[in-house]
Amino acid sequence: MRTTRLLRPDPDGIVAAAALLRSGGLVAFPTETVYGLGGDASNPDAVAAIYAAKGRPAHNPLIAHVVDAHAAARIARFDPRAAAVADTFWPGALTLVLPVRDARLLAPAMVPKGAGTVAVRVPAHPVARALLAAFGGPVAAPSANISGRVSPTTALHVRDELGGRIDAILDAGPCDVGVESTILSLTGPRAVLLRPGGVSQSALSEVLGIPIVQTQETDVLTAPGQLASHYAPSSPVRLDARSRGANELWLGFGAACEGADMSLSASGDLGEAASNLFAALRLLDQRANGRRIAVAPIPERGIGIAINDRLRRAAAPRSGD
């Protein structure tokens, strides 16, 4: 078992984290969305170690995080559409799936077999950007949790699940957005939304000037977040719960949920709900003791679309169920 160091998000901590990445180590770090589990995206052993630490299925791809669009253009091919959305939304909560430019710059696992693509993002969190600048290359960084479980939005969440499995955690407090990045594929003539997230589909469509289609089932996964069951607590989840049922804990939203065990946002603020989502699911899961988690309805608009996506995956039948 490894000793997992807790690093401060100051210059010394950033230098230490970058050195660990260069040596093939694994470092969890904050983004504006969730904490990511970072490893050198060009190092096959480091990428394999990410999969092993998370227990992640080998066919589930990873995102390459880079410091800016120029770094992204070294590993991915940008057409005018990709350049337009990158100019508008980077740095930020948007991942683009694009044709790979030079697969030799990446570990083979970063380029899904049969796809010839790479998923790439420029995060906005200042600590993530400082780490990427100090490291000087692409960093593979899925969410820093056991595969399929609730994503981490604090360093404590990471330590609880991956302590002893990774080398260090850069602790910069809780993440602001609280749900993962939007993933948009621009590998063909259509713009395809693979995962809703912190950037809305309508905002992307407005920049592109074309409608964005929803992802279809495919044998080749080109980005994370496409598995039917994902982001799941250990306890079963019931959606659209307007009251607490027998043997349930109730996660509310809005003023109509008086008496709920917890609320994502008592005022009905979707941004607050997104920020609180994963932490609330984790806390209720710890308290459940065999009970089910019932979740109040969430409006299907804005970032509520991403919240509902995560909740539907959390409530989906688990493998082997």
Q: What is the pLDDT of residues 124-176, one digit of tens each?
A: 999 999 999 999 999 999 999 999 899 999 999 999 999 999 999 999 999 99
Flag whether 229 is in a domain: no
Q: Sorting pLDDT into bands at 50, 70 and 90, what band is 214?
A: confident
**Taking residues 256-272, what's their average pLDDT?**
96
Q: How many domains are contained in the chain?
A: 2
CA distance 8 to 80: 39
Q: Are residues 126 and 274 in the same domain?
A: no
Judge whether residue 8 has pLDDT over 80.
yes
CA distance 157 to 160: 5
Q: Are residues 251 and 128 in the same domain?
A: no
Flag whether 65 is in a domain: yes
- What is the CATH number for 125? 3.90.870.10
pTM for this one?
0.93
Judge whether residue 19 has pLDDT over 50.
yes
Flag whether 225 is in a domain: no
Flag whether 48 is in a domain: yes
Among 182, 214, 246, identify where a domain stops: 214
Domain, as residue range, for 25 = 5-214
Among 183, 214, 245, identify where a domain stops: 214
Structure confidence at residue 320 (pLDDT): 43
Bridge-partner residues for 139, per DSSP?
40, 65
Judge whether residue 321 has pLDDT over 50.
no
123-137, 147-161, 213-227, 260-274: the lowest-pLDDT one: 213-227
CA distance 171 to 169: 6
Q: Sorting pLDDT into bands at 50, 70 and 90, what band is 217?
A: low
Flag whether 224 is in a domain: no
**Taking residues 277-294, what's their average pLDDT?**
96
Q: Are residues 192 and 66 in the same domain?
A: yes
- What is the CATH number for 304? 3.40.50.11030
Judge whether residue 74 has pLDDT over 60.
yes
Assigned token pair, 297:
């309805």
Q: Are residues 55 and 166 in the same domain?
A: yes
Contacts of 162 (CB under 8 A, 6+ apart): 4, 28, 37, 53, 54, 144, 145, 146
**Taking residues 101-130, what's their average pLDDT?**
94
Contacts of 273 (CB under 8 A, 6+ apart): 253, 264, 265, 298, 303, 304, 307
Q: Are residues 206 and 245 in the same domain?
A: no
Among 181, 214, 247, identify where a domain stops: 214
Query: What is the four-CA torsion angle of 225, 275, 317, 199, rounded to 10 degrees?
Result: -30
Q: Are residues 71 and 191 in the same domain?
A: yes
Q: Are residues 188 and 252 in the same domain?
A: no
